[in-house]
Amino acid sequence: MTKLSVNINKIATLRNARGANNPNVVQVAFDCERFGAEGITVHPRPDERHIRYQDCLDLAKVVTTEFNIEGYPDQRFMQLIREVKPAQATLVPDPPDAITSNTGWDTIAHQSLLKDIVAELKEIGTRVSIFINPEAKYFEPAKLTGTDRVELYTEPYASQYHQDREKAVFPYVEVSKIARELGLGLNAGHDLDLHNLAFLKKNIPWLEEVSIGHALICDALYYGLENTVQMYRRQLEG
């Protein structure tokens, strides 16, 4: 069954807008798990404009499902992983000023860097996932880094879904078969929502985890957080 990991960055964005602690990101993470989420994802950035590094330390004390920390593997990120020891570290190639992740790793050009980082993370005892575009050429080099999983960058799928969903999902199905043949675990994330999630899962039934934040939090404004988490879970159960 595909697990739902709720990205709570947007909760922190709302909190930071007023400078206090409302909403409380730790309480929201606790409640998301209580409502049925099977993981909590955060992506701290150097300017701490949403999730703060201290949030990660605080969340590590309460998250009982899978804690997934995303980020560019600079020195501060690696130190955070050493301190927190999350279930999973997801490596993204974002520059410090990126608004959101908008591409995967070039695992050919950065294979040496990634291999060293993956080895260090696995010594810590953390499962490693590499954010990757749905292009076949990147998968065998990803395997050679020693990573446990890859996370498919699904923004292109989401943006094309309403025009031609079969065409949109096709490259993802093809690379997911390659990942499976290579023995790589498969995650997915970026712009997945209640419209396109079930179709992705139907076409890639061995998908292990999806990480969803922005759309889920937006939907929660209308449906309520508890109901929304369960609605997303149902999209993955078909």
- Give catalytic residues, as residue numbers: 43, 70, 190
Task: Give the number of other Cβ atoms within 10 Å of residue 212's Cβ.
Answer: 26
Q: Determine which helix (DSSP H) or strand (DSSP E) holds 228, and give its type and residue range.
A: helix 225-235
Q: Which helix (H) or strand (E) holds 78?
A: helix 75-84
Prior bond to 96 cis, omega within 30? no
Comparing CA positions, the residue from 132, 7, 148, 150 lying closest to residue 67 is 7
Helices and strands per DSSP (H, E), number in the chain: 11, 8
> Can you tell me the distance from the alpha carbon of 103 to that of 81, in angstroms, rounded to the nearest whole number?
22
Closest CA to 115 of 147, 82, 137: 147
What one-character-per-residue DSSP string does 29-71 give? HHHHHHHT-SEEEE---TT-SSS-HHHHHHHHTT--SEEEEEE
Find all residues with CB under 8 Å of 156, minimum gap 6, and list them.
134, 168, 171
